[in-house]
Amino acid sequence: MQERKLGKDGPLVSVVGLGGMYMSIQGRPDEAQAIRTIHAALDAGMRFIDTADVYCLDHRDIGHNERLIAKALKGRGESVLVATKGGLVRPSGDWRRDGRPEHLAAACEASLKALEVEKIALYQLHAPDVNVPFAESVGAIARLREAGKVQRVGLSNVSVAQIEEALRIVPITSVQNRWNPQDRSPEKNGVLAACEKHGIAFLPYSPFGGASGARSLGSMKALAALAEKQGMSSHRLVLAWMIAKSPVVIPIPGARREESVRDSAAAGDVSLSNSDVAAIEATF
């Protein structure tokens, strides 16, 4: 699998990473199946895993995905970079934002314990909180970095203005926003271009458009025809398209099954021409 630098000064990671969310939210597989899926990702060359404290069922289950990944990586995780996020809460299963510095400090401590590490390789603000000044949330993570609890800082669900504001506070390694064939907003709102400008890794989450989007990709006949011509699934072709669009892109598709993760990982060995990219985009 191809590798890319995680940000301007970061380490090399696999060009396709694994998103852990689907292994811990509603409809999650049993633990044995989830661990087999993570091991299949490692066997396929994935060396980057993205998680979050709130990838779980509700407030009683916080840290489920982090604990699952820590368990799966025992004896196999030396060369794997695990990124996590803080800044959301799950009261009774809801998804709510909490960017207060005191929450982020406590969340980071809990993530260190769940991941069984002394320092988090990449800690990302999960989403800006409208009730907390953005600079206060970013500043809290910057202090965690100064304290040696966090090695690198990332952002998620942010605008260009917020990226610029954060860069005035602390070096930013990554930005994680939604991007897929149905939602191409990072190309239009300047976020992808800002990441390229500043040497920030762009980690598109939900690259297939969520569970419903993933199902609909197979019904896009023109895209399916192109994928068949290339000898691959529509999903693999979409990931290859993302990788070809920009040198800072590292998609993080989620998976529940070994078959899915192997198919996604194979996108890391696909090379597309400019004409291939144009042809793919014409099917969206």
Kindly list the distances between the CA atom of residue 88 and the CA atoms of 19, 55, 131, 152, in Å, as whole numbers in the listed order. 17, 10, 13, 19
Catalytic residue among 22, 55, 123, 205: 55
Kindly list the distances between the CA atom of residue 171 and the CA atoms of 110, 133, 260, in Å, as whole numbers in the listed order. 23, 18, 34
Query: Contacts by 182-186 with C-beta closer than 8 Å and gap 24+?
Result: 182/209, 182/213, 182/216, 182/284, 183/209, 184/284
Cβ burial of 156 (10 Å; 0-12, 13-18, 19+) is buried
Quick check: is 22 catalytic? Answer: no
List residues with catalytic annotation: 55
